[in-house]
Structure 1
């Protein structure tokens, strides 16, 4: 249900301007810059994803508000620096959405697969126009979580034809990388080989049409759920239990799901 009494975006913009006022604003907000706020922006995006994963619409509403605040915060700092304002941010995204949806705002028609291909083609053209970096890998953000960035790099490479034809190749690569981890002669080599192993695992997941980031989040949640059940079943003595007893508690927690 839409709340027609909700304040407009301009109210939030005005609040942020007041918070950033060097004379009467909040001392903490006034001291911030793009670099200091960026970690909060990333955190809020993850909290949005968490609310979605928990199917908690009340939390999602709150977290989207927190994320919107981050956009307004960055835009306000840019406006103070004479770079751009929130209106420019909105205008840019509106233009981008129209440009990237010619099948909606133009004369073309397309199914879902064609839309995806068209979107990537248009994005690639935008990257070439905005940067001297002509690589197919240009623009994959360094700040992305490593697992997500690995997937994006692989997808970019795949669009050039540099890819396994099916999941057999990545599967064999995982086994190869496991052997190379075992054969590593020192810690530095072991770090490299474990990185290669994780990269191969992402590639395998991609060929199975599985989102590796989402799969790992599910695995994390599963581990946490089972570990907490072990702690509850064992009581305060959990840490002191021998490993064999902990293993039995783990098996019981797994069977109880």
Structure 2
């Protein structure tokens, strides 16, 4: 197989978009129609990483890169930006946000001794990002938290941004008390049989759980993804055992499935 380069990929993209003999599907795409594919490819990459499948990671990285190349081609056609300017802007931003690595603000500059204070580095990063937001004349610290983020990720981002202004619990006891309060309000809404209020209170409970995760320094999205996988493994164990017995989950009792669940748990699944 030929060893292709980045230039070959950029050329391929321009050919796919060629109005005369390009790909009919690629020619009619725009920024908004590509977004669902970008999200899908990003999740497929995350899944490959979780599975530790290096060959799959290798492939999915290419698919994610293609999304960047596609958007860059669209930008080039509109005269807004191209792949080279995307790279240039990215390098400039990363140099600017890493003064502990590039002290003079140039790619070639170096520090005498690297700091190991990760908290100080994170604080500097956030200070620089705050200055960047001010430069964009954003009215709120929450303005550039993407609304398209998965809800757990966006809740975490919103809470972190608000916390930077001092709007945060002083300790985890307050977070736990708030979570209990929200659960009590959900129970009350359920007793009143108000579906609209139940949905609202359920959202408050989930938001409080994300807040608890943040204070425990646990990534809510990653934690839930891990639990999803654990549930999947254990339930598939139940299905497998039942199948070996010539039956199915639908034909089994809850007690029987609970016993198999405990077996799966004991096996470390």
Out of 129, 139, 142, the position equivalent to 2:135 is 129
Instruction: Map Cα deviations across residues 25-68 of structure 1 (whole Å, 9 max, x no partner).
Output: 11111111111110111111112211221122211111111000
Higher relative contact order (CA 8 A, sep 6+): 1
CA RMSD of aligned residues (A): 1.5
Q: Structure 2: how far apart are the matches of 1:48 and 1:178? A: 35
Name the count of aligned residue pairs. 252
Show the counterpart of 1:51: 48
Give the whole-Å Cα distance in 1 for the aligned partners of 2:209 and 2:248: 37
Q: Mind listing any 5+ residue stretches in structure 2 that lack a counterpart?
A: 105-110
Measured after TM superposition, the shift of residue 211 of structure 1 is 0.7
Per the normalisation by structure 2, the TM-score is 0.90
1:191 is aligned to 2:199? yes
**Which residue number in structure 2 is paired with residue 83 of structure 1?**
80
> Which residue in 2 is equivalent to 1:251?
262
> Would you identify which runs of 4 or more consecutive aligned residues in structure 1 move more than 3 Å?
107-110
Where does 1:19-98 land on structure 2 (aligned, <5 Å)? 19-98=16-95
Gaps of 5+ in 1: none
The equivalent residue for 1:206 is 214
Deviation by residue 1:180-223 (Cα, 9 ceiling, x = unmatched): 11111311100010000000000001111111111001100000
Which digits, 9 at most, give the CA deviation of each residue in 1:103-152, with x for residues without a partner? 2111576432211111111111111111x333222211101100000001
Corresponding residue number in structure 1 for 2:148:
143
Q: CA deviation at 1:238?
A: 2.0
Aligned partner of 2:240 in structure 1 is 232
Partner residue in 1 for 2:9: 12
State the distance in 2 between where 1:120 and 1:163 align: 16
Distance, in Å, in 2 between the alignment partners of 1:18 and 1:164 is 54
Give me the whole-angstrom Cα distance separating, in 1, the residues matched to 2:10 and 2:228: 37
| 1:65-107 Cα distance to aligned partner (Å, 9 max, x none) | 1000000001101111121111110110011111111121115
14-23 vs 52-61, greater mean Cα deviation: 52-61
The answer to which of 111-120 and 196-205 deviates more is: 111-120
- TM-score normalised to the size of structure 1? 0.94
> 1:125, 1:227 → 2: CA distance?
49
Correspondence for 1:118: 124
Please, which of 183, 186, 211 is the counterpart of residue 181 of structure 1?
186
